[in-house]
Amino acid sequence: MKKHYYLIFCIMILFLMNCKKGVDLSMPTSEQKETGVTNNPYICKYWQCLKLNSEFEPREFHSLVVFDNKLWLIGGRDYDLNYFADVWRSDNGIDWKCVTKNANFGERGNAYLCNFKNKIYLIGGISGTGNFLNDVWMSDNGIDWSLVTGNANFSPRIANFINFNNEFYAIGGYTGISFKSEVWKSNDGKNWQLIKNNASFGESVFNGVVVFKNKIWAIAGLGKEGASYIYKYDVWSSSNGVDWEFVTKNSVFSDMSFSNFFVYDKYIYLIKSIYDGSGGGVPYYNEIWRTDDGKNWMPINLKPDFSSRHTFSLILFNNKFYLIGGYLGYGYGDSNDIWISE
């Protein structure tokens, strides 16, 4: 399954699955939801390095969440494809403490992580052996983890998870064999209901899923039409997870590799990671775009201050955006630096 998974995403440079390795379909691996409004025109435009070498090992495909007024970092993998089962905690985003090196949810990367009903929930991802997962774990302190279900109703897959109206949604996905056009829903992480079998967005795994203007938005990605794998540059929205409306198809989503979407200050933001291996050196560069309607996208910064990368994690904490770690390119490996924008 691992080889097949890598092959698919190698073919589709959008996700660059294993031109070195990888997967960030996440699909947010951190909770992505609409936040409070500010009038700061510079948020996400300018960045500064907060810390060059953090206490945790360099990594990619890790997950972040804010819980108990602290920032938590979980799992991921390193440049040599070694996966982590560790949990790190920070009160200030600068100083980090490892609270457990081997959490019982096991080694994994690209897991969905969120603060749900005053607990941390961890869903799915890829195991240290390269298998897709469909288990759900829960913790009320970030240290001790309880298994909610080892086998959710949906098949093991890479999917887009989101917390919307106090319920979990699993949208689309890829099982290692086929793409899915399903939507599943759960109010407890244990019992999942199939609410849509053939969603109008088609068989897809999306580059980003966010909550914006009281709707779920599924943006760009990879899919299948007939026997062909295709890049998807479209945007879809839904107020209930069942009925989906086509919003736009936009070339701004072309050439993306493990890009991050998030919502802040009445905008959807995109930190676009772009692959360009034609000239040697670091084969990635980043751009920042935003939209206030999901249809019309405007560039904010086409050459941000942080070093080029993909498969990083991003989160809002203490009114600052934290960009942590990621893959820097062939020969450069992974990073454990921290950048902020405020």
Residue 290's pLDDT is: 95
Domain range list for the chain: 2-341
DSSP conformational letter for 252: G
For residues 320 and 139, give the distance between their C-alpha atoms in angstroms, rounded to a whole number: 25
Confidence label for 13 from pLDDT (cuts 50, 70 and 90): very low
The length of the chain in residues reads 342
CATH number, domain 2-341, options 3.40.190.10, 3.40.109.10, 2.120.10.80, 2.60.40.10: 2.120.10.80
Phi, psi of 163 (to 5 degrees): -100, 115
Helices marked H in the chain — which ranges?
2-11
Residue 49's pLDDT is: 97
Burial grade of 150 (CB within 10 A; 0-12, 13-18, 19 or more): exposed
Tell me if 312 sits within 8 A of 324, measured CB to CB. Answer: yes
For residues 120 and 310, give the distance between their C-alpha atoms in angstroms, rounded to a whole number: 25
Gap between the terminal Cα atoms of the chain: 42
pLDDT at residue 43 tops 90: no
Average pLDDT, the chain: 87
pLDDT at residue 213 tops 80: yes
Q: Which has more pLDDT, 281 or 64?
A: 64
Please write the tens of the pLDDT for every residue from 273-286: 877 665 555 556 89
β-pairing, 119-127 vs 267-275, is unpaired
DSSP conformational letter for 308: P
pLDDT at residue 163 tops 90: yes
Please write the tens of the pLDDT for every residue from 229-249: 888 899 999 999 999 999 999
pLDDT at residue 135 tops 50: yes
For residues 12 and 220, give the distance between their C-alpha atoms in angstroms, rounded to a whole number: 13
Helix (H, G, I), strand (E, B) or coil at 103: coil
Percent of the chain with pLDDT over 70: 85
Please write the tens of the pLDDT for every residue from 164-193: 999 999 999 999 889 999 999 999 999 999
Of 29-43, 83-97, 126-140, 272-286, minimum mean pLDDT range: 29-43
The residue behind tokens 């409306």 is 245
How many of the other CB atoms lie within 10 Å of CB of 39?
6
What predicted TM-score, i.e. pTM, was given to this entire model? 0.88
* Mean predicted confidence (pLDDT) in 56-68: 98
Residue 277's pLDDT is: 61
For residues 230 and 238, give the distance between their C-alpha atoms in angstroms, rounded to a whole number: 22
Helix (H, G, I), strand (E, B) or coil at 99: strand
How many of the other CB atoms lie within 10 Å of CB of 40?
13
For residues 83 and 75, give the distance between their C-alpha atoms in angstroms, rounded to a whole number: 7
Confidence label for 223 from pLDDT (cuts 50, 70 and 90): confident
pLDDT at residue 92 tops 90: yes
* Mean predicted confidence (pLDDT) in 68-81: 97
Output the CA angle 229-230-232, nearest 5 degrees.
Answer: 145
The residue behind tokens 């914006």 is 212
pLDDT at residue 18 tops 70: no
DSSP calls for 112-170: EEEEETTEEEEEEEEETTS-EEEEEEEESSSSS-EEEESS-SSPS-EEEEEEETTEEEE
Of 18-32, 88-102, 237-251, minimum mean pLDDT range: 18-32
Please write the tens of the pLDDT for every residue from 308-326: 898 999 999 999 999 999 9
Residue 20's pLDDT is: 35
Residue 19's pLDDT is: 34
Six-digit token string for 218: 């599924």
Six-digit token string for 229: 């794998």
